[in-house]
Amino acid sequence: MSAQPIPYTIRRTVRWGECDPAGIVYTPRFLDWVLEAAESFFADVAGVDWFHLNQRDGLGSPSVSTQIDFHKPIKHGEPFTIEVLVRRLSRSTITYAMRGRNQAGELCFSAALVSCIIDNARMKSVSIPEPIRARITEYQAATAALLEGETRP
């Protein structure tokens, strides 16, 4: 994790095929980006990718809830970033807070995603295993100031 920038940030460009006939990003694509950001964060910061989590550890990370607020359109072809923060870490759930910004740094969308760690065989939530918890806790501590006073989802 030490090699990761703070906050953990995805860089992306809006694709032609992600836009609808009105020329703006088709709403569901934002949730694709949120999940892709969570996937990358999990692999890079929590230290295990979802495939190994499932195949090797028998654990899944289904979503409990998600919320996205759209503030400002992102233009086709324009680079944008998604910052991934962790608002809350409970026994078995992780609450992500994400911020999508355009090149000027303006907030374009904010998102929350609650994921739960489950035992795939029993389909029951389980305690987030160490060292995943340790790594996320460390990241959360390093980025806590970025969520202070925030009222975004």
- Structure tokens belonging to residue 38: 């969570």
Residue pair 26/76 in contact (Cβ under 8 Å)? The answer is: no
Does residue 60 bind a second copy (CB under 8 A)?
Answer: yes
Does residue 36 bind a second copy (CB under 8 A)?
Answer: yes
Q: In this chain, which of 1, 12, 47, 76 binds a second copy, going by CB under 8 A?
A: 76
| Alpha helices (H) in the chain, listed in sequence order | 28-41, 50-55, 132-143
Q: What distances in angstroms separate CA 58 from CA 82, 107, 120, one per listed residue?
A: 29, 37, 6
CA 1 centroid distance within chain: 16
Does residue 150 bind a second copy (CB under 8 A)?
Answer: no
115: DSSP letter: E
Does residue 126 bind a second copy (CB under 8 A)?
Answer: no
Q: In this chain, which of 1, 9, 12, 31 binds a second copy, going by CB under 8 A?
A: 31
Does residue 27 bind a second copy (CB under 8 A)?
Answer: yes
**Beta carbon of residue 15, minimum distance to a second copy (angstroms, whole number):** 6
Residue pair 117/126 in contact (Cβ under 8 Å)? The answer is: yes
- Radius of gyration, CA atoms only, the chain: 16
Q: In this chain, which of 93, 102, 120, 125 binds a second copy, going by CB under 8 A?
A: 120
Does residue 70 bind a second copy (CB under 8 A)?
Answer: yes
Q: Which is nearer to a second copy, 26 or 131 (CB)?
A: 26
Q: Which H or E element spans position 63?
A: strand 63-70
Does residue 79 bind a second copy (CB under 8 A)?
Answer: no
For a second copy, the binding residues (CB under 8 A) are 15-17, 19-24, 26-28, 30-32, 34-36, 39, 43, 49-52, 54-55, 60, 62-70, 73, 76-77, 120, 123
